[in-house]
């Protein structure tokens, strides 16, 4: 899909579909000019029918009365409730409709008098359209989805830059989705590393991959323990982007378990296929690295992705094992299905020791407990730093990727102390499962400013996921837009 801006008289535009927004309690679309009375009346009738309700769409054929073939009117809901999110979802709806009826291009006319600034309007339109027109059809003979080109008609003279930015951000999300959606037989840790390598050569990032023997030799006891049960060997993927001289980096860490069977503590068969999405945290990091480098953000950014396949077998690690993690701490394994925290621990402590970051932020489909606590539309957030948590919350409101912060303190840290080792990989029973998992990670980060996203519920569309035009079936790319907004606001 190609998106461009144009400063012209919309109603004179020869296009297959000219789109306008309409709000509740108004009889004509926003910025709609005075034209032929007959046509104006038909539009008024259509608006009356949909009442400008959020997500409503009506199409009026013009029969050559004006140059455009159709006028599409899309409802934004009540005027005082217009946000990034309502524009994003409405733009997604428009894009899907235009695609469904088979058009190859359309125009959206932006009014000057919306209650949000035009940068917000334009970037939300671009995001909504690009993200809605994604479908994971790599393995389908009939590729059904048409992706029409979009012209945004606006008097904003900086529109082109806004479009370019929003396009890079959206491409980051789509890239994350495209890897996250891959089946586990086509995305093992080595293949995951391959994707990072090709991204790094396209985007001039530095890329380092640690093999199984290097991981062993360097003391990555968590990654090697979890990875030892699979013939698909574990990898540690490191991407470096340098956009500023002499500045401490931000580190992003992402869990990439390419398939999580649970290992010896094996999972039930029901929905086990969904554990191909257990690599989504790593994919989020890839998406952010891609976009951050394309946007040439003036920061230093390190992406660290521990990647393993968690399998049962004769070589697997077991409940009862005591392993030594990267920083020297020992961990007692009580459940091999609590594997994410083990590989993240190594990645976090390696990152902190190697790069002395100003902050470290991780993304992981870490606990089923997070879904129990918050459902599938809000990610869990645990942090040791109020500034970071507040900034994340702010970005979250901008991007519509919802988060809710959970507490952490010494009582929770005590819950993962082990009788036989320094720490253990599960808490007592199922209580506070998301927080005890985070407490395990907190042992790796110490005083380094840190935030942890548990994206178990939000990384892909699953039971209870709210239907959003711009989040089609499969992986959502949750966190990519949020993190880019965060990094954009120093
Ligand atoms: N990848 C899972 C968490 C998960 C489950 C994410 C379902 C999304 C949907 C993780 O590795 C896991 O298995 N966690 C266990 C931890 C438990 C054994 C302490 C869980 O949540 O059951
Ligand atoms: Mn697991
Ligand atoms: Zn897992």
Tokens found for residue 44: 């008024």
User: What CATH number has the domain spanning 172-488?
Assistant: 3.40.630.10
Instruction: State the pLDDT at residue 418.
Output: 98
Distances in Å between the Cα of 373 and the Cα atoms of 65, 381, 435 are 56, 12, 11
Instruction: State the pLDDT at residue 144.
Output: 79
Instruction: State the pLDDT at residue 297.
Output: 98
Residue with tokens 């521990």: 306
What count of other Cβ atoms lies within 10 Å of the Cβ of residue 186?
Answer: 11
Tokens found for residue 368: 């089923």
Q: Which residues of 352-362 are buried (b: 16+ CB within 10 A; e: fewer)?
A: beebebebbbb
Which ligand 1 atom is nearest residue 339's CA?
11
Report domain extents, the chain: 3-153, 172-488
Residue with tokens 């009889």: 27
Residues in the ligand 1 pocket, defined by CB under 6 Å: 260, 278, 335, 337-340, 365-369, 426, 433, 456
Residues 422, 434: Cα–Cα separation, whole Å: 20
Q: What are phi and psi of 299, to 5 degrees?
A: -145, 170
Of 262, 337, 380, 434, best ligand 1 pocket probe by most atoms within 8 Å of the beta carbon: 337
Instruction: State the pLDDT at residue 113.
Output: 82
Instruction: State the pLDDT at residue 146.
Output: 87
Q: Closest residue (by CA) to atom 16 of ligand 1?
A: 338
Residues 242, 247: Cα–Cα separation, whole Å: 9
Q: At what angle do helices 84-100 and 118-132 cross, to 10 degrees?
A: 40
pTM over 0.95: yes
Name the CATH code of domain 3-153 (choices 1.10.3720.10, 3.20.20.120, 3.20.20.60, 3.40.220.10): 3.40.220.10
Instruction: State the pLDDT at residue 34.
Output: 84
> What DSSP string describes 34-75?
P--HHHHHHHHHHHHHHTT-TT-EEEEE-TTSSSSSEEEEEE
Q: What is the largest CA-CA distance in the chain?
A: 83
Residues 288, 320: Cα–Cα separation, whole Å: 37
Residue with tokens 């540690």: 236
Of 261, 335, 368, 461, best ligand 1 pocket probe by most atoms within 8 Å of the beta carbon: 368
Output the CA 266–ligand 2 centroid distance in Å: 9
Residue 343: which of 331, 334, 359, 360 has the closest Cα?
331
Output the CA 139–ligand 2 centroid distance in Å: 27
**Tens place of pLDDT per residue across the chain (490 aa):** 999 999 999 999 999 999 999 999 999 999 999 888 999 999 999 999 999 999 999 999 999 999 999 999 999 999 999 999 999 999 999 999 999 999 999 999 999 888 899 999 999 999 999 999 999 999 999 887 889 999 999 999 999 999 999 999 999 999 999 999 999 999 999 999 999 999 999 999 999 999 999 999 999 999 999 999 999 999 999 999 999 999 999 999 999 999 999 999 999 999 999 999 999 999 999 999 999 999 999 999 999 999 999 999 999 999 999 999 999 999 999 999 999 999 999 999 999 999 999 999 999 999 999 999 999 999 999 999 999 999 999 999 999 999 999 999 999 999 999 999 999 999 999 999 999 999 999 999 999 999 999 999 999 999 999 999 999 999 999 999 999 999 998 7
> What DSSP string describes 76-89?
---GGG--HHHHHH
Q: Which ligand is nearest to the CA of 425?
A: 1
Instruction: State the pLDDT at residue 287.
Output: 99
Which ligand 1 atom is nearest residue 370's CA?
21
Could you tell me whether strands 330-332 and 149-153 are parallel, antiparallel, or unpaired per DSSP bridges?
unpaired
- SS3 category, 271: coil
Instruction: State the pLDDT at residue 98.
Output: 98
Beta carbons of 431 and 372 less than 8 angstroms apart: no
Q: Closest residue (by CA) to atom 7 of ligand 1?
A: 368
Instruction: State the pLDDT at residue 324.
Output: 99
Beta carbons of 15 and 70 less than 8 angstroms apart: no
Is there a catalytic annotation at residue 248?
no
Output the CA 260–ligand 3 centroid distance in Å: 5
Output the CA 260–ligand 2 centroid distance in Å: 6
Beta carbons of 236 and 306 less than 8 angstroms apart: yes
Instruction: State the pLDDT at residue 134.
Output: 97
Which ligand 1 atom is nearest residue 365's CA?
6
Where helices occur in 204-252 by DSSP H, the ranges are 212-218, 221-227
Q: Closest residue (by CA) to atom 5 of ligand 1?
A: 368
Distances in Å between the Cα of 133 and the Cα atoms of 1, 93, 161, 296 are 8, 10, 21, 26
Per the document, the length of the chain is 490
Is there a catalytic annotation at residue 177?
no
Instruction: State the pLDDT at residue 385.
Output: 98
Active-site pick, 44, 119, 267, 391: 267
Which ligand 1 atom is nearest residue 427's CA?
19
């Amino acid at each position: 899909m190609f998106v461009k801006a144009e400063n012209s008289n919309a109603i004179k535009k020869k296009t297959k579909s000219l789109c306008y927004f309409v709000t509740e309690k108004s009889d004509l679309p926003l910025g709609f000019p005075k034209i032929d009375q007959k046509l104006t009346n038909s539009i008024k009738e259509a608006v009356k029918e949909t009442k400008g309700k959020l997500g409503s769409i009506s199409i009026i054929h013009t029969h050559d009365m004006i140059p455009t073939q159709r006028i599409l009117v899309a409802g934004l809901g009540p005027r005082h409730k217009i946000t990034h999110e309502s524009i994003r979802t409405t733009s997604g709806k428009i894009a899907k409709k235009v695609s469904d009826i088979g058009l190859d291009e359309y125009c959206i006319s932006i009014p000057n008098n919306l209650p949000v600034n035009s940068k917000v309007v334009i970037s939300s339109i671009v995001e909504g359209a690009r993200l809605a027109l994604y479908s994971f059809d790599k393995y389908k003979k009939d590729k059904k989805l048409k992706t029409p080109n979009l012209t945004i008609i606006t008097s904003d003279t900086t529109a082109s830059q806004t479009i370019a930015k929003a396009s890079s951000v959206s491409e980051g999300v789509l890239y994350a989705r495209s890897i996250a959606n891959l089946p586990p037989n086509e995305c093992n840790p080595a293949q995951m590393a391959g994707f990072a390598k090709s991204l790094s050569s396209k985007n001039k990032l530095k890329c380092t991959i640690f093999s199984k023997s290097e991981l062993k030799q360097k003391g990555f006891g968590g990654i090697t323990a979890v990875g030892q049960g699979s013939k698909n060997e574990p990898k540690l993927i490191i991407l470096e982007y340098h956009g500023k001289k002499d500045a401490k980096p931000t580190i992003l860490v992402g869990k990439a378990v390419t398939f999580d069977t649970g290992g010896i503590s094996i999972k039930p068969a029901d929905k086990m296929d969904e554990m191909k999405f257990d690599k989504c945290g790593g994919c989020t990091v890839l998406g952010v690295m891609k976009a951050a480098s394309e946007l040439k953000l003036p920061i230093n950014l390190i992406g660290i992705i521990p990647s393993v396949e968690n399998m049962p077998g004769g070589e697997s690690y077991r409940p009862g094992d005591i392993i030594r993690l990267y920083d020297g701490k020992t961990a007692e394994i009580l459940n091999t299905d609590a594997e994410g925290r083990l590989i993240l621990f190594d990645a976090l402590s390696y990152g902190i020791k190697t790069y002395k970051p100003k902050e470290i932020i991780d993304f992981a489909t870490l606990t089923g407990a997070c879904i129990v606590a918050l459902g599938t539309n809000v990610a869990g957030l645990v942090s040791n730093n109020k500034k970071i948590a507040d900034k994340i919350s702010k970005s979250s409101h901008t991007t519509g990727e919802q988060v809710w912060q959970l507490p952490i303190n010494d009582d929770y840290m005590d819950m993962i102390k082990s009788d036989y080792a320094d720490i253990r990989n599960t808490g007592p029973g199922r209580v506070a499962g998301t927080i005890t998992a985070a407490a395990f990670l907190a042992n790796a980060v110490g005083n380094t400013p840190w935030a942890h996203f548990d994206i178990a519920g939000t990384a892909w569309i699953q039971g209870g996921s709210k239907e959003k035009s711009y989040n089609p079936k499969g992986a959502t790319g949750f966190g990519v837009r949020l993190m880019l907004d965060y990094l954009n606001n120093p």
